[in-house]
Amino acid sequence: MAMTFCMRLLPPALVAAWGLLSGCDLQASEPVEKSVSAVQTPHPFFRTDQYPAWSRMSMEQAVVDTRAAIAEARTRLEALAAVTPDTATFENTFLAWFRSGENLSQLTNYLYHLHTATGDPAIQHAMYDIQNEIMTFKAEGLHASRIAEVLLQASRAPWVAQLSPARQRFVRQVLEQMRDKGLYLKPEQQVRKAAIETELSRLGYRFSVMVKNSPRAWQLLITDPAELEGMPARWMQLAEREGSKLSPDGKAAWLVNLTTVPAAPVLRYCKVAETRRKCWLGTTSTGTARALDTEPVIVRILELRHELATLMGYANYADMQTARRMMGSGAKALAFVDEMLQKSKPVWDAYVAAEMKRFSQACGQELTAVNPWDVEYLNHHLPPKRNSFNVNTVTPYLRTDKVIRGLLDIWSGLLGLRFEELPVAYLRPGESAPAGTVETWAPGVRCIAVKDAATGNHLGSFYLDIYARPGKRPQAWCLPLRDGEPAADGSLGEPHLAALMANLTPPRQGQPHLFHHGELYMLFHEFGHMMHMMLGHGELRAHCTAEVERDFIETPSQIQECWIWEPEALATFTSHYQTGEPLPAELAQQLAASRGSNPIEMHMRMLCTSKLDLELHMHYHDKYKGRPLDEVCQEILAPWLFPYTQHPPSEIRTLTYTMSEGYAAALYTYKWSEMLAADAMQRFKREGVLNPATGADYRRCILERGSSVPAMQQIRDFLGREPQPDALIERYSR
């Protein structure tokens, strides 16, 4: 669950000139029929009214607006290319560049949102046409080299030194992004860069398809039911029904696979060790089957990424990826991961020793290693572990309407805000909205205005769309729909607009909806992103929250999710949905304590995966090239591997996050953000988790600044010192 963007919002000029509709599963389709009667003006997909007219956003209109936005962007880029050094100003160079494709960016923002919120097939079809038009525009590379030269010359003008700190920072950011795009490379280098990126895109897609298809490549057909002793009757019936379809002689057979008859229950219930072993091999086979072996693809991706990094002037791909982030280099990121691994090792070693003692007692003999296919079976038959508190014990106390009110009350008090729910209307095309209402894209969507409690200034508004419906994208996410434009004098201007989306099961008619604790976590986490979006008002729209360093973007959300474990905060929004009694103090304390109950395994897994990610992107070419991938990965992680008799293939074989989805050499981000959040939370704990003075500092130092100030400076200003990992280590040491 995380902040989601369909594009990088800094700067829209690049969005226009180099195009994107990322995150959308586009497929070929018939062109959208253009119905003249469906087309309206002015352009509803542009940056116009404060609240979009969703019912006017037909797909025919989307195509029309795309063409208008491209024409507008082309005109603006031509004007920028014509600027000469003697006529250059900040407004007609850097600011003009940022604004050149803003309506094309806005259109893709709205279109992507409708795609994820509704799943309408017509949107899918229209997006294919629109992508083609944007890609055609992208291929023009309209005046790209000339514009890069205009901006480089402007950056050397005397007036740059007279700009405000925020504007000087933006000048540097623009030049960095121009360099990242390769616009200051020699022509032959630009050609090679484009070829590498094209091949990487193809390989990333191939990798994700191979991982997606791998589970269908393994199955086990069993003809002797004795080999499945201990399996539940219902599972046996399903396995026999599917297996009999494949039986060569028509006799009874039982099928186990990774899709229709999952192998995971076999590892827990089956008494036959050999059957468990075969099924464990199956569950770990993803990315290894002959036709779907991802190792050659991974190797080629690593080689190409290293070539790309050296072409761009970096020592390795990790340096290239971290250059614009808090870490600044791959070496610093790896040093952080290694420090966390070393500081976590005593806790990990104690956990391993305790687990091996449990398994030895269950087996009646001293074990120095355990079969990985026995672990689930042994855990199922052993007594529950200490502190095995079920967090969903608190579910009867989490009535949804009261939780949402409590959430808003907590953050209005901490951040000095006022939340006002606005009247809404869901309209069909052609209908008119009642006066004073905000239009929504589906029934049940709410809209909440965020205002400063002291001044009454309207900071932003967000839609709240938390219940599942057909076609809606799974999971939960927070999406900036439009960043507010500051006033001409740099003061607060137009409000921001965003959407908080989730997929909770709607309540039955006449019954209240209750949150599970995991859903409560989701709500507070995403609301952390939302407050970051709503409060980030700076001198430039270019410094919106979306543009903070990628290894900082999750920090506010991870800070704010901490409140779901704090008894003082829980007391403000929990009561039994039937009796109204408050959450018992003992239950609140058990919940708080459960956060630290044995999570070290997941903590170490994330750290180990982050280490693999960085090591391979930094050193594959000079230390590991030509060696089997699984052997290399086991060597890198040797001190932190659980003592299994046989280790599975490396997780990197199936890690789409780092091979095809944008987190290459950046998986450390999750633990880095968690460390920053844990450290920041210590200040709230010392001064009071509901202390408005601490909340005011949090708002001033972090939430309001967006990317106008480096993230490391933001966290230093809030903490009064450098961030430290101790609080996070302590969380996993209980």
Across residues 215-230, what is the average pLDDT? 95
**What are the two backbone dihedrals, phi and then psi, of residue 221, each rounded to the nearest 5 degrees?**
-105, 120
Amino acid (one-letter) located at 446: R
Q: Per-residue pLDDT for 641 more than 50?
A: yes
pLDDT tens, residue by residue, 389-420: 788 899 999 999 999 999 999 999 999 999 99
Which of 661 and 204 is assigned the larger pLDDT?
Answer: 204
pLDDT tens, residue by residue, 660-690: 878 899 999 999 999 999 999 999 999 999 9
Residues whose CB is less than 8 angstroms from the CB of residue 596 and which lie 6 or more positions away in sequence, other chains included: 731, 732, 733, 734
Across residues 499-523, what is the average pLDDT? 91
Distance CA 51, CA 498 (A): 10
Across residues 222-236, what is the average pLDDT? 96
* DSSP label at residue 584: P
pLDDT at 445: 97
Q: Of 256-265, 267-276, 381-390, which range is least confident?
A: 381-390
Q: Give the percent of the chain with pLDDT over 90.
A: 77
Architecture in CATH of 2-185? Up-down Bundle (1.20)
Across residues 18-38, what is the average pLDDT? 38
pLDDT at 388: 67
Angle at 472 between CA 468 and CA 477, to 5 degrees: 85
Residue with tokens 């509709």: 21
- CB–CB of 697/353 below 8 Å? no
pLDDT tens, residue by residue, 612-624: 999 999 999 999 9
Confidence of residue 491 (pLDDT cuts 50, 70, 90): low
Whether omega before 11 lies within 30 degrees of 0, making that bond cis, reads yes
Domain definitions of the chain by residue range: 2-185, 219-284, 292-387+599-666, 394-544
pLDDT at 383: 81
**Can you give the C-alpha Rg of the chain in angstroms?**
27
Distance CA 264, CA 704 (A): 47
Tokens describing residue 167 = 């504007």
Q: Which residues pair with 514 in a beta bridge?
A: 399
Amino acid (one-letter) located at 49: D
The SS3 call for residue 448 is strand
Distance CA 142, CA 154 (A): 19
CATH tag for 394-544 (out of 3.40.390.10, 3.30.930.10, 3.30.365.10, 3.40.50.2300): 3.40.390.10
Distance CA 229, CA 222 (A): 12
Q: Which residues pair with 399 in a beta bridge?
A: 514
Residues whose CB is less than 8 angstroms from the CB of residue 201 and which lie 6 or more positions away in sequence, other chains included: none
pLDDT at 33: 39
- CB–CB of 417/451 below 8 Å? yes
Query: Mean pLDDT highest for which of 127-131, 314-318, 425-429, 515-519?
Result: 314-318
pLDDT tens, residue by residue, 64-122: 999 999 999 999 999 999 999 999 999 999 999 999 999 999 999 999 999 999 988 88
Q: Of 140-144, 280-284, 306-310, which range is least confident?
A: 140-144
Q: Per-residue pLDDT for 35 more than 70?
A: no
Tokens describing residue 700 = 């001033």
Across residues 130-149, what is the average pLDDT? 88
Q: Per-residue pLDDT for 38 more than 90?
A: no
Q: Per-residue pLDDT for 20 more than 80?
A: no
- CB–CB of 56/439 below 8 Å? no
**Sheet harboring 446-452: ordered strands across?**
2-3, 477-482, 496-504, 458-467, 446-452, 417-422
Q: Per-residue pLDDT for 271 more than 80?
A: yes
What region, left, alpha or beta, does residue 2 occupy, with left being phi > 0 and alpha being psi -120 to 50 degrees?
Answer: beta
Across residues 340-362, what is the average pLDDT? 94
Q: Per-residue pLDDT for 295 more than 80?
A: yes
Angle at 441 between CA 409 and CA 438, to 5 degrees: 55
pLDDT tens, residue by residue, 167-176: 999 999 999 9
Confidence of residue 433 (pLDDT cuts 50, 70, 90): confident
The SS3 call for residue 216 is helix
pLDDT at 48: 85
What region, left, alpha or beta, does residue 225 occupy, with left being phi > 0 and alpha being psi -120 to 50 degrees?
Answer: alpha
- Exposure string of 30-62, with b = 16+ CB inside 10 Å and e = fewer, is eebeeeeeeebeebbbbbeeebbebbbbbbbbb
Across residues 585-603, what is the average pLDDT? 84
Which run of H or of E encompasses 220? strand 219-222
Q: Per-residue pLDDT for 280 more than 90?
A: yes
Across residues 314-329, what is the average pLDDT? 96
Following CA atoms 356, 357, 359, 363 in sequence, which dihedral angle do they give, to the nearest 10 degrees? 130
pLDDT at 128: 84
Which of 594 and 715 is assigned the larger pLDDT?
Answer: 715
The SS3 call for residue 132 is helix
Q: Per-residue pLDDT for 657 more than 90?
A: no
Other C-beta atoms lying within 10 Å of the C-beta of residue 155: 17
Q: Of 249-258, 477-486, 593-602, 657-666, which range is least confident?
A: 593-602
Distance CA 427, CA 440 (A): 7
Q: Per-residue pLDDT for 297 more than 90?
A: yes
- CB–CB of 714/722 below 8 Å? no
Architecture in CATH of 292-387+599-666? Orthogonal Bundle (1.10)
pLDDT at 40: 56
Round the average pLDDT of the chain to a whole number and report it: 90
